[in-house]
A = this chain, B = another copy of it.
Amino acid sequence: MVRSVADADSVRRQNRGLVLSTLRREGPMPRTQLAGATGLSHASITAIGGELIAQGLLVEQGTGETPPGGKQRGRPAVAVTFNRRACHAIIIELDTNRARLSLVDYAGTLVDRIETEVTPTLFRETRPATLLREQIERLRGRNPTIGATLQRISISVQGMLDRGGDRLTWSPIPHVSGESIVLPLQQAFGCAVSLSKRGRLLAEGARLLYPGLRDLSIATVFIGSTVAMGMSFPERQAAQGDDGGTEFGHMNHLPDGALCRCGVKGCIEAYAADYGVLRTAYGVPGSAMPAASVPAAAYRELVHLGRAGRRNVVHAFNVAGQAIGFGLGRLMTIAAPAHVVIVGPGASAYELMRAEIEAGLNASLVCRVGGVPAITVHHDEREPIFQGMVASTLAELDQALCAGTPPEPRSTSVE
């Protein structure tokens, strides 16, 4: 709560932001309804709405809906909504095996999307910023109409970010850490560029996806080729910085335990990621170097065998469940989420890990006293990430636009 002086200008900014965020949350609506939803007076809505339309951020919608049957009685309501063409953003999901770039407009609609493969050796020769720059150029080339309206580039990555959020200090994606990513793109495209941890976006996306979670604290655990977690708290949405991102997968489970891909011994990931389960299942000692990568099919087969009751596989998933359960129990002592969402390929093995996860949670005093968090399983992790990124990117855009541009006097406008 950094206090700073408030004046008429900050009031206007706040209320413009209120109008935009209400429209984001509840969709297009006429001015009268907007007054009700925001708590502002009709007079203010007229003023603010007029400004935002003049600025090109909002537009009046044809007739919106002709809701209940026949004709309405009075002056017809004209809904206002976001001007799709006001600006655009590019959402990038950078993963261990591929990069997906999505172009969305100001209304949040997907305009275009390209995908490119990421090989383990790719970033040994190509700088990540260079690869991304090329792909962004390509996407822009395919959509010439967006012109200079590209306002924001949001990148989702796995790994640890540096303080300023400019680069990765460590990542499971080979050779990607170290180099600055944000700065070169910022310079190349002259717009805001941000790097976010995949885990946090997963959690925020889960909140958007399940209406029931809207007012709960959520931890989303990804289980797959890595183990990752992000947390999201209500009322503090879009907490910038590194907040909400964790390194859950690299939390120690057992001192001097199994070797993790990160080089440290005993991480949760070393027991619960695909390679960890595989190692346990086939009796490979924990001191053995982890497999560089596990084919998706091989992991699916493993889950299948486990479900069929194959002893060694069931045991391996039990070990994985114990690592995750104790990890969650330890987490609970620091920050107690009310809801845990499990996503990723490992979600399909949840039933094999469930008992151990619950046992691990119950070994935590916090859970014994306050109860265990509700756990739900969601298979597809791509959608929450994407939704989360779109939502937070647009919210940031709203902030930037309603904060910066208004005071400009329409001096040299076309008249």
Interface residues of A (CB under 8 A from B): 1-8, 10-11, 14-15, 17-18, 21-22, 38-40, 160, 169-170, 235-238, 246-248, 250-252, 254-255, 260, 262-267, 322, 326, 329-335, 360, 363-366, 368-370
Does B1 contact A235, Cβ atoms closer than 8 Å? yes
Q: Which residue of B lies closest to A177 (CB)?
A: B369
Count of chain copies: 2
Please determine whether A264 and B368 come into contact, CB atoms closer than 8 angstroms. Answer: yes
Cα A256 to Cα B250 with chains together (Å): 21
What is the distance, in angstroms, from A321's C-beta to the closest C-beta of chain B? 12
Instruction: A282 to B60: give the CA distance in the assembly, Å.
Output: 79
A252–B252 alpha-carbon span in the complex (Å): 11
Cα-based distance from A263 to B40 in the complex (angstroms): 54
A38: shortest Cβ distance to chain B, in Å?
6
Closest Cβ neighbor of A1 among chain B residues: B237
A1 & B238 in contact (Cβ 8 Å cutoff): yes
A363 interface neighbour in B8, B40, B266, B370, Cβ under 8 Å: B266
Which of chain B's residues has its CB closest to A163's CB? B370
List of 7 A-B pairs having minimum Cβ-Cβ separation, nearest first: A6-B14, A247-B333, A250-B365, A251-B333, A6-B11, A170-B369, A5-B39
* Set of chain B residues within 8 Å of A14, measured between Cβ atoms: 3, 5-6
Q: Would you give the shortest CB distance from A253 to chain B, in whole angstroms?
A: 9
Q: CA A236 – CA B236 in complex, angstroms?
A: 11
| Known contacts A2-B235, A333-B251, A364-B250, A369 near B160 by CB under 8 Å | yes
Report yes or no: B363 in contact with A264, Cβ–Cβ below 8 A.
Answer: yes
Contacts of A333 in B (CB 8 A): 246-248, 250-251
| 8 CB-based A-B contacts, threshold 8 Å | A6-B15, A251-B333, A252-B363, A254-B255, A255-B326, A331-B334, A334-B334, A334-B335
Chain B residues positioned under 8 Å from A264 (CB to CB): 363-365, 368
- For residue A402, give the distance in angstroms from its CB to the closest CB of chain B: 12
Q: A5-B39, A252-B329, A330-B252 are in contact. Are A247 and B366 (CB under 8 A)?
A: yes
